[in-house]
Structure 1
Amino acid sequence: MRRLTRWTAWLGLCAVLLTAAAAAILGFTSTGQAMVAEAGSRSPQELIRYLKRRLEGHNKLEAVLLPPLHVAQRHFEREPPAGPLPTLGKGQQAQALKNAMQGITQELRVDSPQGIRQALLDAKPGTRIMVAPGLYPFSLKMRLGNNGRSDAPIVLSAEQPGTVWFEFGQVEGILVDRPYWVFENLDIRGVCERHDDCEHAFHVVSRAAFTTIRNNRITDFNAHIKVNGYNGDWPDHGLLAYNTLTNTRPRETLRSVVPFDLVGANHWRVQDNLVSNYTKRDGNMVSFGIFMKGASEGGRIERNLVICSLGDISRPGVRVGISYGGGGTDPPMCRDGSCHSYEHRLGLAANNIVAHCNDTGLDVNQSNQVMLAHNTLINTSGIGTRGTKAQARLYGNLYEGVARARDGSSLQMDFNETLDPQSSFMNTDELLLDWRLPPERVPSLKSLPNDFYRRPRATGSFPGALN
């Protein structure tokens, strides 16, 4: 009886799909129109994944329906080009950033793992801990000993990028729980055999306000940078700039896979980073490149290059680019104790380029008063808002896919344009983004005077990240 019921259910599903398709073509009945409307609330990528999941274990149906689904998936999810993609000037720079930290009055040079560990405990405000070139393995969490000050931060750095390598074999690399610390010009790698054992390169918690993490290359972690509160204290006003956050292979873990994972902290700026290749192989297989959630507010995500997949874009799982709200937060982890009113509010994602994601490039989940402006989305399913508390304004974005409001959310759209990958740029999928056929200009926003490359926008500006 169970087998008969299962086959009956599948025959019913097939009949529903055929009916919906017929209604889409003929537009005869209100039932057919309702089915089309329901299908329209999901992207083609989502529908294909849903159908493939439902077909699992039904060998005869798989034999008939999987081949056309694979063809459709290859159409909607183009495989990224082989070989490295250009970084477009984002991520770790080859030279140290020119704007040196102010307030440094002394330098402490170290050249051993134990020397680094001790310096982190001993350094006083105004100290730069300069690490000599070399490879430094660590297997235990590193901790900080003193607070920096706004006029005298404490800095851990290499003199030049590409000269100092840290290898972390521990769950957390550096626990940052003191204010006004800076970490720059380092190459940090997770070397754990079990991916569960390499969670974070930096865990920024509690009183670590005004943390700066800039111009580093961080590879092979589940959540490379984790930011959250502890005991009622929150590490607000942080800066993540010009970092490369990536993985060399899919993460074999049930834990969250989010290169920048912020919960509850306010007024962080995430700018000019390169975030790429963050596939979660196990568990729910859902991963995000950057998210802010947990009743946080005022986060600015600007001028980043996010590439969900460097290859095998249609492998199982879901990969999202930038999100306010992520997958939601367990209430005890929320800044307000519940996330009842919002996951994030007053957020801005602007002038980002997001590419090669099998799900949304921009996502707003239970977050409100969010502005998504002048972003370019390439080979993604588009933009989505989710949940009754979600409210976003889209202005001047250039995107493939669809923009859709789901589950009672609200979406205001102004001057957005659909991206044609064949005609808009010289080679869209290879990120060769010189204009071939530029769109019509739109009114510029005074609050966003510059583009992805920090070039000034004129009174009339192209939609998307590139002026």
Structure 2
Amino acid sequence: MARRALRLLAGCALIGVLAAGAGALYLQDKGITPRALAPYIDKRTSGHNPTIEGVGQWSAAALVRLDRGESRLPVATFAAIGARAALPFAGAAAQRRIVSTSDEVRRAIAAAAPGDVITLLPGRYQFAGAPLYVSRPGTAGAPIVLRAEQAGSVTLEFALVEGFIVSAPYWHFENLAIRGVCLEQAQCEHAFHVVGAAHHFEARNNTITDFNAHFKINGDQRLFPDHGLIDGNTLRNASARSTSSPVTLVDLVAASGWTIRRNLIADFIKSGGDRISYGGFVKGAGSDNVFEQNVVLCEDRLRGAPGQRVGLSLGGGGTGRQYCRDGRCITEQDRAIVRANLIASCSDDGIYLNNAAASELLHNTLIDTGGIQARFAGTSADVEGNLVDGDIRSRDGALLRLNDNLSTPIALLYTGYHAQRRLFADDFQWKQAPPRRAKVDELPPDLCGGTRPAAPSYGAFEDISACQK
């Protein structure tokens, strides 16, 4: 027993010299970042005598400081990303239905016809018992809309496992504040469950808080809710989710052709179960899905909790065959695009690819994350113009085609070296003129909505202040 204890103690002591020797190079070869090694050491040394536990805790904390710094990134304001004060109605209002109570909302949804605009008067609407079943179809020329006139004027409180279960096409939801109010967090699973035939779903300019998965999207009976849009929403939680269920604010399985754009996605901490959570993923053998111009802050108002938080993922943790679009999940995702996103303050990878074929990762900015990781032989990706405070790496047969990115090898992270992070002051402002690429053939979008110059800066934005006005 004493010999085993000495071996453990010696192993922990080696952490202090990793930065200067072959250990750091070995960890780089294995794709193990300091922030990934720290919890492993902490777990392996816990339950031993106080000396070993103390060394393990000290070593883990030292690794986190090297990789993440003494303090986390400041809470930033992104006024132009996520839900805003008003979203004018873009369609005709010939069939406007005014509702003012929870019962009237239910009745209006149950009787909705193509072209209806169900408008909620200002106030608080409480729902318990049965979910809101959205099963009456709209049409391409006459979608059904449920909205508030002004964002922030209407709050829907759901004491429900699932709020809206949307199983019909062409429904739009706008300007709503939706909050989970279950007594136990595990009982508030989804604000929206978009399923089966619910293609061409849209959610725009909503603020959604306190659910395990704000959007759950999946097929049913060989029908798939394709061609959806999640645009300009604020998705966050006010506290860590005490649940063993998945915590992923945009949880998309087997659907194709979705665009997830200009959302603020923050504070998705899972404190139960495996403590692994995601800001958003697309998986289940879907294709042609896009994450673009989102701000993903794994830790914003909530900080320092144990667990692994991943920013965005193509493939997530994989999918059971029975849930896959093709029944097999030969690949988890085909031809997906992740571009012009700011992803920050994550205890794990900023972008993770799992059996994601023909992917494109373009002009993203990753600060204080585990970087970009691609795994398994089904993964291939073009990775261009990204600014990564960390490493870009492949494992287990994944193929990455790297073209003009800024990143830092893992070995240097063990010395506390963060060249890309040093480019920024607080709130993601450039300290000096940003590093620029040579002229590119196709200009990327700008996170903040501006026009990129012919020689764009690396990463997602030219000037972050345009996002903060």
Alignment of 1:399-410 (within 5 A): 399-410=388-399
Change (3 A) 1:378 1:17: same
Work out the CA distance in 1 between the residues paired with 2:284 and 2:244: 20
Q: What letter corresponds to residue 353 of structure 1 in structure 2?
A: L
Give CA-to-partner distance per residue, 1:410-459, whole Å, 9 cap, x none: 122111013735641232xxx2424524113234352x542112222222
Q: Which residue of 1 aligns with 2:401?
A: 412
Work out the CA distance in 2 between the residues paired with 1:57 and 1:445: 57
CA RMSD of aligned residues (A): 2.2
Matched, 1:450 2:441: no
Q: What letter corresponds to residue 64 of structure 1 in structure 2?
A: V
In the TM superposition, what is the alpha-carbon distance from 1:400 to its structure 2 partner? Answer: 0.6
Q: 1:389 aligns with which of 378, 384, 399?
A: 378
Q: 1:459 aligns with which of 431, 454, 462?
A: 454
Q: Which residue of 2 aligns with 1:379?
A: 368
Q: 1:80 aligns with which of 49, 72, 75?
A: 72
Q: 1:370 aligns with which of 359, 373, 379?
A: 359
In the TM superposition, what is the alpha-carbon distance from 1:251 to its structure 2 partner? Answer: 0.1
Given that 2:370 and 2:391 are in contact with CA atoms closer than 8 Å, whether structure 1 keeps it comes out as yes
Give CA-to-partner distance per residue, 1:209-239, whole Å, 9 cap, x none: 0000010000000000000000100000000
Q: Which residue of 2 aligns with 1:315?
A: 305
Given that 2:12 and 2:55 are in contact with CA atoms closer than 8 Å, whether structure 1 keeps it comes out as no
Alignment of 1:83-102 (within 5 A): 84-96=75-87, 98=88, 100-102=89-91
Q: What letter corresponds to residue 158 of structure 2 in structure 1?
A: F
Matched, 1:277 2:304: no
Matched, 1:130 2:119: yes
> How many residues of Structure 1 are paired with residues of Structure 2 in the alignment?
449
More off after superposition, 329-338 vs 276-285: 329-338
Secondary structure at the aligned position of 2:394 is classed as strand
Q: 1:43 aligns with which of 21, 33, 36?
A: 33
Change (3 A) 1:240 1:10: farther
Q: What letter corresponds to residue 439 of structure 1 in structure 2?
A: P
Work out the CA distance in 2 between the residues paired with 1:403 and 1:444: 21
In the TM superposition, what is the alpha-carbon distance from 1:18 to its structure 2 partner? Answer: 7.0
Q: Which residue of 1 aligns with 2:321?
A: 331
Q: What letter corresponds to residue 396 of structure 2 in structure 1?
A: D
Q: 2:437 aligns with which of 437, 441, 464?
A: 441
Q: 1:159 aligns with which of 138, 149, 154?
A: 149
Structure 1, unmatched stretches of 5+, are none
Alignment of 1:171-210 (within 5 A): 171-210=161-200
In the TM superposition, what is the alpha-carbon distance from 1:263 to its structure 2 partner? Answer: 0.2
Q: Which residue of 1 aligns with 2:412?
A: none
In the TM superposition, what is the alpha-carbon distance from 1:103 to its structure 2 partner? Answer: 5.0
Secondary structure at the aligned position of 1:442 is classed as coil
Q: What letter corresponds to residue 336 of structure 1 in structure 2?
A: D
In the TM superposition, what is the alpha-carbon distance from 1:378 to its structure 2 partner? Answer: 1.1
In the TM superposition, what is the alpha-carbon distance from 1:371 to its structure 2 partner? Answer: 0.5
Given that 2:267 and 2:302 are in contact with CA atoms closer than 8 Å, whether structure 1 keeps it comes out as no
Work out the CA distance in 2 between the residues paired with 1:24 and 1:424: 23
In the TM superposition, what is the alpha-carbon distance from 1:255 to its structure 2 partner? Answer: 0.1
In the TM superposition, what is the alpha-carbon distance from 1:312 to its structure 2 partner? Answer: 5.9
Work out the CA distance in 1 between the residues paired with 2:393 and 2:227: 31
Residue identity (%): 37
Work out the CA distance in 2 between the residues paired with 1:360 and 1:16: 25
Given that 2:196 and 2:225 are in contact with CA atoms closer than 8 Å, whether structure 1 keeps it comes out as yes
Work out the CA distance in 1 between the residues paired with 2:106 and 2:17: 68
Given that 2:37 and 2:60 are in contact with CA atoms closer than 8 Å, whether structure 1 keeps it comes out as no
Given that 1:305 and 1:353 are in contact with CA atoms closer than 8 Å, whether structure 2 keeps it comes out as yes
Give CA-to-partner distance per residue, 1:275-299, whole Å, 9 cap, x none: 0000000110000001000011100
Q: Which residue of 2 aligns with 1:348?
A: 337
Q: 1:62 aligns with which of 15, 37, 53?
A: 53
Give CA-to-partner distance per residue, 1:18-67, whole Å, 9 cap, x none: 7898798566xxxx79x715665211111112111111111321122322
Given that 1:398 and 1:417 are in contact with CA atoms closer than 8 Å, whether structure 2 keeps it comes out as yes
Work out the CA distance in 2 between the residues paired with 1:232 and 1:403: 37
Work out the CA distance in 1 between the residues paired with 2:218 and 2:421: 42
Q: What letter corresponds to residue 138 of structure 1 in structure 2?
A: F
Alignment of 1:223-262 (within 5 A): 223-262=213-252
